[in-house]
Amino acid sequence: MPSSSEPRSTSRRDFIDWIIKGGLLTTFAGMLFPALAYLWPVTRRGPIHDMVEVGREDEIQVWGSKKVVLGGSAFLVVRTPTEYKAFSAVCTHLGCIVYWDSDKKLIICPCHAGLFDLDGRVVSGPPPRPLVSHLVSIVDGKIFVKP
Amino acid sequence: MTTDKTKVQLLSVLLHLFRVAFFSLFFLWQGLSTAAPQSVEENACVTCHSDIWEREVQGSVHARANILCQDCHGGDPTQLDIEAAKAPATGFVGVPDKKKIAETCGSCHANVEVMNFYGIRTDQLARYKTSGHGKKLFEEGKDQVAVCSDCHGHHHILPISDPNSSVYPTNIPKTCNQCHGNEALMAGFGLPADIFSKYQRSVHGKAVLEKKDVSAANCTSCHGSHGAIPPGVRDIGAACGKCHVNEKKYFLESVHAPVAEGGNFSECIACHGNHEVHPASKLLYRTACIQCHAAGSPAAEVGENLFRVLAQSESELKAAEALVKGASIEGIFVEEEMGALEDAKTNVISMAPVQHSLSADRISGLYEKFSEVAREIKTRVHQKREFLKWRKIALIPIWIFVLLMASALWYKYKQLQSRRKGNPSSE
Is it the case that residue A92 has pLDDT exceeding 70?
yes
The C-alpha atoms of residue B355 and residue B361 are separated, in whole angstroms, by 10
Is it the case that residue B10 has pLDDT exceeding 70?
no
pLDDT at residue A93, as a whole number:
93
Q: Is B336 on the interface with A (CB under 8 A)?
A: yes
Is it the case that residue A8 has pLDDT exceeding 80?
no
Q: Are residues B386 and B316 in the same domain?
A: yes
Residue pLDDT, tens place only, B124-152: 999 999 999 999 999 999 999 999 999 99
Is B338's CB within 8 Å of A20's CB?
Answer: no
Mean predicted confidence (pLDDT) in B11-40: 52
Nearest-Cα residue of chain B relative to residue A74? B339
The C-alpha atoms of residue A69 and residue A80 are separated, in whole angstroms, by 21
Q: Are residues B266 and B317 in the same domain?
A: no
Is B342's CB within 8 Å of A95's CB?
Answer: yes
Mean predicted confidence (pLDDT) in A131-141: 95
Which strands make up the sheet holding A99-101, listed edge to edge? A99-101, A106-108, A115-116, A122-124
CATH assignment of the domain containing B336? 1.20.1270
pLDDT at residue A72, as a whole number:
87
Q: Are residues B267 and B237 in the same domain?
A: yes
Please check whether residue B412 lies inside any domain of the structure.
Answer: no
pLDDT at residue A26, as a whole number:
87
Quick one: A82 exposed, middle or buried, by C-beta within 10 A (0-12, 13-18, 19+)? exposed
pLDDT at residue B416, as a whole number:
85
pLDDT at residue B210, as a whole number:
97
Residue pLDDT, tens place only, A18-59: 888 888 888 888 888 877 776 665 444 444 458 899 999 999
* Least CB–CB distance from A23: residue in B246, B338, B408: B408
Please check whether residue B251 lies inside any domain of the structure.
Answer: yes
Give residues 43 to 82 of A whose Cβ lies within 8 Å of B.
69-74
Please check whether residue B33 lies inside any domain of the structure.
Answer: no
Is it the case that residue A2 has pLDDT exceeding 50?
no
Instruction: Work out the pLDDT band at B266, boundaries 50, 70, 90.
Output: confident
Domains of chain A by residue range: 1-45, 52-145
pLDDT at residue B235, as a whole number:
86
Cβ contact B225:B246 at 8 Å: no
CA neighbor of A127 nearest in space, from A102, A108, A106, A147 = A108
pLDDT at residue B219, as a whole number:
96
CA neighbor of B77 nearest in space, from B34, B30, B27 = B34
Residue pLDDT, tens place only, B203-243: 999 999 999 999 899 999 999 999 999 888 778 889 999 99
Containing A73, the helix (H) or strand (E) segment is strand A73-79
CA neighbor of B106 nearest in space, from B75, B128, B138, B90 = B128
Amino acid symbol at B375: R
Mean predicted confidence (pLDDT) in B80-108: 93
Q: Are residues B306 and B258 in the same domain?
A: no
pLDDT at residue A6, as a whole number:
52
Please check whether residue B325 lies inside any domain of the structure.
Answer: yes
Instruction: Work out the pLDDT band at B27, boundaries 50, 70, 90.
Output: very low
| Residue range(s) defining the domain that contains residue B270 | 231-278
Radius of gyration of chain A (CA): 28
Please check whether residue B186 lies inside any domain of the structure.
Answer: no
Residue pLDDT, tens place only, B233-251: 778 889 999 999 999 999 9
Q: Are residues B305 and B387 in the same domain?
A: yes
Q: Is B26 on the interface with A (CB under 8 A)?
A: no
Is A19's CB within 8 Å of B345's CB?
Answer: no
SS3 percent helix, strand, coil of chain B, rounded to 5, is 70, 0, 30
Q: Is the ipTM of this complex over 0.95?
A: no
Distance from CA of B409 to the nearest CA of A (A): 7
**Percent residues over pLDDT 70 in chain B:** 90
pLDDT at residue A139, as a whole number:
93
Q: What are the DSSP calls for B318-376, one per residue? A: HHHHHHHHHHHHTT---HHHHHHHHHHHHHHHHHHHHGGG--HHHHHHHHHHHHHHHHH
pLDDT at residue A47, as a whole number:
44
Q: Are residues B270 and B307 in the same domain?
A: no
Whole-model pTM over 0.80: no
Is A95's CB within 8 Å of B412's CB?
Answer: no
Is it the case that residue B385 has pLDDT exceeding 80?
yes
Cβ contact A125:B245 at 8 Å: yes
The C-alpha atoms of residue A55 and residue B312 are separated, in whole angstroms, by 37
Cβ contact B109:B68 at 8 Å: no
Please check whether residue B113 lies inside any domain of the structure.
Answer: no
Is B339's CB within 8 Å of A72's CB?
Answer: yes
Domain range A52-145, CATH class: mainly beta
Q: Is B243 on the interface with A (CB under 8 A)?
A: yes
- What is the phi/psi pair of residue B340, to 5°? -65, -35
Instruction: Work out the pLDDT band at B353, boundaries 50, 70, 90.
Output: very high
Q: Are residues B326 and B375 in the same domain?
A: yes
As beta bridge partners, residue A107 has: A100, A116
Q: Is B411 on the interface with A (CB under 8 A)?
A: yes
Mean predicted confidence (pLDDT) in B100-123: 94
Please check whether residue B397 lies inside any domain of the structure.
Answer: no
Instruction: Work out the pLDDT band at B42, boundaries 50, 70, 90.
Output: confident
Instruction: Work out the pLDDT band at A7, boundaries 50, 70, 90.
Output: low
Give the count of domains, chain B: 2
Please check whether residue B73 lies inside any domain of the structure.
Answer: no
Is it the case that residue B24 has pLDDT exceeding 50?
no
Q: What are the DSSP calls for B370-390, one per residue? A: HHHHHHHHHHHHHHHHHHHHH
Best to test chain A binding among B349, B416, B417 (most A CBs inside 10 Å): B349
Mean predicted confidence (pLDDT) in B13-22: 57
Q: Are residues B267 and B320 in the same domain?
A: no
The C-alpha atoms of residue B129 and residue B81 are separated, in whole angstroms, by 38
pLDDT at residue A24, as a whole number:
86
The C-alpha atoms of residue A95 and residue A124 are separated, in whole angstroms, by 16
Instruction: Work out the pLDDT band at B23, boundaries 50, 70, 90.
Output: very low
Amino acid symbol at B374: A
Q: Are residues B372 and B322 in the same domain?
A: yes
What mean pLDDT is reported for chain B? 89
More confident residue, B395 or B166: B166
The C-alpha atoms of residue A51 and residue B65 are separated, in whole angstroms, by 54
pLDDT at residue B313, as a whole number:
97
Give the Cα-Cα-Cα angle B58, B62, B66 (nearest 5 degrees).
Answer: 85
